[in-house]
Structure 1
Amino acid sequence: MKDLIVCFYQAFHQLDANKMTSYYHKDVVFEDPAFGVLKAERARAMWKMLCESQKGKDFKIEATNITENSAHWEAFYTFSKTGRKVHNKIDARFEFKDGLIIKHTDDFNLHNWAKQAIGFKGLLLGGSGFFKKKLQSQTNYLLDKYMAEKKLPN
């Protein structure tokens, strides 16, 4: 399944969400600290939203240490709400069913991300459960809005 993970990140590097999500099983479950748990169509829509929002910007990823069920990847971009540069280091784990990704879990240090993306407030609050809950609420609100605008199934 290593080749599938390599293809997933190649598509991500090209910001090709349709290709990325073609490697997802119809019942995929995605999870990360920023969005929480997203299932099926919401997981696919999240990648579409993220890729669309980064086209023409300074977004870059590097995927390394790809194995049969994991990868390390790093994202470099400017956080649009603050204009601050972010270098996020993510460890991904994958599970497969029918030759496709059925579970994708991205793990990163949310406190470190918050310090970079938000600055002083992120330094103070980024490690708290309150911050994580608030961030997930905001990201899921944006995802709901995106899905409604694009008329995507929820």
Structure 2
Amino acid sequence: MDTPEDLIHRFYTAFQNKDYRTMQACYADEASFNDPAFRNLSGYEAGAMWEMLIHRGSDTTIEYELIKADDNEAIVRWTARYSFGPKKRPVVNRIQATIKVKDGKIIAHTDTFPFYAWARQALGISGWLLGWTPYVKKKVQKGALSSLARFIAKKNE
């Protein structure tokens, strides 16, 4: 069984290598995932989300730094660089992950990042003007969950 530190390195190395299957295997079935765009995902949904993001983000690169790891929790700072949306706007997203671990698997994963900073890059002028509003955040969340639902449905056809 992996130590939490080993698990984190396996997860983020797989991410760097665009190996979503290994990333999925790091999650417990009952795991949860949250970030400003994807809320309240199950372990299966989180795995599908990473698969979707890897398929769509052919130019995505990530760097990570393990800040802390103990028997139950890890803190990771990571940076994702990618093009977003049909206009391929460049995004550099600096994220902090809090990952809870049990029996060598991720049971809770929460990524936090400044949504407005992300929106200014990803959404262009509308992100600059309105990215700080709850309306835009909810619209992004709804779109993210809708995209994930379509991806899962197509995958399960």
Normalised by the length of structure 2, the TM-score is 0.91
Match of 1:36, SS state, is coil
Out of 137, 143, 154, the position equivalent to 1:132 is 137
Q: Shift of residue 138 of structure 1?
A: 0.4
2:27 aligned with 1:24? yes
- Give the letter aligned to residue 148 of structure 2: L
Moved runs in structure 1, 4+ residues, more than 4 A?
A: none
Q: Shift of residue 39 of structure 1?
A: 1.1
Match of 1:71, SS state, is strand
Q: Shift of residue 40 of structure 1?
A: 2.2
Are the counterparts in 2 of residues 95 and 104 from structure 1 also a CA contact under 8 Å?
yes
Q: Shift of residue 65 of structure 1?
A: 3.6
RMSD over aligned Cα atoms:
1.2
Counterpart in the other structure of 1:84 = 89
Counterpart in the other structure of 1:7 = 10
| Identity in percent | 40
- Aligned runs of 1:103-118 on 2, under 5 Å? 103-118=108-123
Bigger Cα displacement from structure 2, 36-45 vs 14-23: 36-45
Q: Shift of residue 67 of structure 1?
A: 2.1
| Separation of aligned partners in 2, 1:65 and 1:94 | 11
Counterpart in the other structure of 1:73 = 78
Counterpart in the other structure of 1:52 = 55
- Give the letter aligned to residue 9 of structure 2: V
Counterpart in the other structure of 2:63 = 62
CA displacement 1:63-113 (0-9 Å, x = unmatched):
014421110000011113322110000000011122211000000011000
| Separation of aligned partners in 1, 2:139 and 2:105 | 32
| Separation of aligned partners in 2, 1:82 and 1:30 | 28
Counterpart in the other structure of 1:39 = 42
2:125 aligned with 1:120? yes
Are the counterparts in 2 of residues 2 and 66 from structure 1 also a CA contact under 8 Å?
no
Are the counterparts in 2 of residues 5 and 66 from structure 1 also a CA contact under 8 Å?
no
The alignment covers a number of residue pairs equal to 150
Consecutive unaligned residues in structure 1, runs of 5 or more: none
Match of 1:137, SS state, is helix
Match of 1:33, SS state, is coil
